[in-house]
A and B are shown apart, each in its own frame.
Chain A
Amino acid sequence: MDVAQQLANGIFLGSIYALFALGYTLVFGVLDVLNLAHAAVFTLGAFMGLTAVAKLGLPIWVGVGVAFIGAGLVGIVLERVAFAPLRRRPDTRFAGLLSSLAMASLFVAIAQGIFGPETYIFPPGSVPSETLIVGGLRLPVTQLLVVVVSVLLMAGLSWLVQRTRFGRALRAVAENPRAAALLGIDVDRVYSATFFLSSALGGVAGVLYALAFNSVAIDLGGSIELKGLAVIIVGGMGSLLGALVGGLVLGLSEVFAVAVIGSTWRDAIAFGLLALILIVRPQGLFGRPTLRRD
């Protein structure tokens, strides 16, 4: 078995999962709520990038930027419409969950209304089609770009969270929103900004996924929905490093499961491995053991 090549395959897949999971875990860490519309934002981001490149003839870099900003704005709308009004309720976590599910269906329906059920591709020539050959390894340029952009975004997010004032405010709100408010932090603004960032990352993950496979359809988010959730649970909900490592673990285990055993068992093995990790470490790889808050 060509271990090096399969490793490369796994890292590429894993970096998309990681980027997608980052958005999930960011929202969970700060707002303590699961945003189930994240996969729909992933799909919308892909379509925004596609429209920018196919309809407006912009280069793919701009397309990725459009997806980032566009998806981020969708995230702010999501926060205002689906989560903010329910924040005062005692069952806010479940209410938010259901509300985001509804928004997800809405987003997909809108996308279907505009784009229909067909599968789209990026215009020929807009996406680099070369493959680099490095010492026997075949690395399609699109996949390399995906990994590089993912790494840059993750590093950027990490810098933002650890080294800026905003990042400090974010961490404060994540720790205890009431105390943060008492200290003069505008908690609502932090929430909006978190959703912007999270959805922007999700949207970029979507357009990168679409670019890498040159395939955009409204069911794009379907396969990654459950996996993103699994990744953040295994990585530790609320941990950025956990999302990164969890994503890579899932990507690699999927690829090697297929390479060694066969595709029929792929999901069973990948999720089985994640379940195993949870048995050994229920809070996830990098999660903190939670105290019951009630």
Chain B
Amino acid sequence: MRRLTVLAAILLTAACSASPGAAPTTGAPAGSGGGQLQAKVGAVLSLTKGAAVYGVTQQNGLQLAAEEVNAAGKVSIELVIEDDASDPQTGITAFQKLINQDKVSAIIGPTLSNTAASSDPKAQELGVPVLGVSNTAAGITEIGDFIFRDSLTEGQVIPQTIAKAKESYSLAKVAVLYGQDDAFTKSGYDVFAKALTDSAISVVATETFSKGDKNFSAQLTKIVGLAPDAIVVSALAVEGSLILTQARQAGFTGPIIGGNGFNSPTVITNAGAAAEGLVVGAAWNSASDNPENKAFLSAYQAKFGSAPDQFAAQAYSGVKILARAIETAGSSDRVKIQQALKTSIKDLPLPLGSFSFTETRDADHPAVVQIVKDGAFQILS
């Protein structure tokens, strides 16, 4: 009988301490007392599988920014990074671990909008602020008021891209090719379709493909046969590089207009000469000449021995934004940080430009339209 009572007592205690509170709690280690404000910040990135091409540079950006923030002395950030393997299920598990076990004050990421769609609601429910640094699909910040992002949405960048491309190439008719089984590529397609309609450009063909496909010859043969002025593609980097190569093989010599998935130098590396003439709108270009960007470029090059890409720039900026919010909040409390993000981020100087959040917690700063010329992203004029 006694043993049973002891067992029951232990189980009861365990059950009590494990219950997730409905109200947001100050789960993070209290950052108070003398000198630096301390906060644990979690990050969920795609470090392996399909989206690893973005996740790895994001990790670099985060680490560089955390170092600089810690060196500046006002805030001390401890980064806890988890890999979601480009998979939504793994992303949910990573979020839960960061929130419940590591008790982070905020989460940066995840890399893919596809993963954010299922992981962010968990964080919203538990009152943990999430700062997306590469989520550009629709419907992310709508999840709730704890969800923010510093990545310009496709909805903000693509219309600018189409407008500029129409002007530069006198586009009258295009063909569209998009990935139908990923939230980001599908959402990108929706935005492209609307932007094309708004610009009075007619669409002669709409073809689809799936993630993991390697062979696009059937779709491209069909498209090239219709002689469009340009091909519009909404794809992730791996499929994007293959599409570029095969489109050129199929005989298409016109401009290829891509969504955010193409914003990776690996696309240029993997597609080689086939990448010439690729037009991509971006939130960031290394040629931007604001002082924060220049400092970021040289620091990144010095630490990692390679040039940063847009994903690194947005991740770096994300940490800087969080650091400012933590400083303003004066604590590592999740709700206070969320409030600070909402109210205190105005015209913050970042490599992305002068940054603010919109009313709906989306990024607000001007975009850049680029074209690949001589093997590098240059600004389209």
Contact = CB atoms under 8 A, between A and B. Distances in A.
Interface of A: 1-2, 5-6, 9, 12-13, 117-119, 121, 124, 129, 131, 138, 140, 209, 213-215, 217, 219, 222-223, 254-256, 258-259, 262-264
B52 A118 contact: yes
Nearest to A223: B212
B246 to A, nearest CB: 8
Contacts of A209: 214
Main secondary structure of the interface of B (DSSP, over half): helix
B222 A259 contact: yes
A27 to B, nearest CB: 25
Contact of A138 (B212, B250, B272): B250
12 contacts: A9-B218, A117-B49, A131-B251, A138-B250, A138-B251, A213-B214, A219-B49, A222-B212, A223-B214, A262-B207, A263-B219, A264-B208
A121 B269 CA distance: 9
A209 B214 CA distance: 10
A187 to B, nearest CB: 39
B215 A13 contact: yes
B163 interface: no
A263 B217 CA distance: 11
Given A138-B251, A262-B208, A118 B221 contact: no
A262 B219 CA distance: 8
Of B249, B251, B270, B272, most buried by chain A (CB within 10 Å of CB) is B249
Interface in B242-279: 242, 245, 249-251, 266, 269-270, 272-273
A121 B270 contact: yes
Interface residues of B, number: 31
Given A138-B251, A215-B214, A119 B238 contact: yes
A31 B218 CA distance: 37
B180 interface: yes
A138 B217 CA distance: 11
Nearest to B56: A118
A259 to B, nearest CB: 5
Contacts of B241: 119, 215
Nearest to B245: A214
Contacts of B219: 258-259, 263
A1 B222 contact: yes
Contacts of A9: 215, 217-218, 221
Contacts of A2: 221-222, 225
Of A119, A138, A219, A222, most buried by chain B (CB within 10 Å of CB) is A119
Contacts of B266: 119
Contacts of B270: 119, 121, 214-215
A5 B273 CA distance: 23
Contacts of A1: 222, 225
B53 interface: yes
A253 to B, nearest CB: 11
Contacts of A140: 249
A259 B210 CA distance: 15
A259 B214 contact: no
A262 to B, nearest CB: 6
A131 B217 contact: no
Interface string B82-112: 0000000000000000000000000000000
A184 to B, nearest CB: 47
B218 A118 contact: no
Contacts of A124: 272
Nearest to A222: B212
Contacts of B212: 219, 222-223
Given A1-B225, A264-B208, A258 B218 contact: yes
Contacts of A223: 212-214
Given A138-B249, A213-B242, A222-B212, A255 B218 contact: yes
Contact of B208 (A121, A254, A259, A263): A263
Nearest to B220: A9
Nearest to A141: B249
Of B180, B221, B269, most buried by chain A (CB within 10 Å of CB) is B221
A35 B225 CA distance: 42
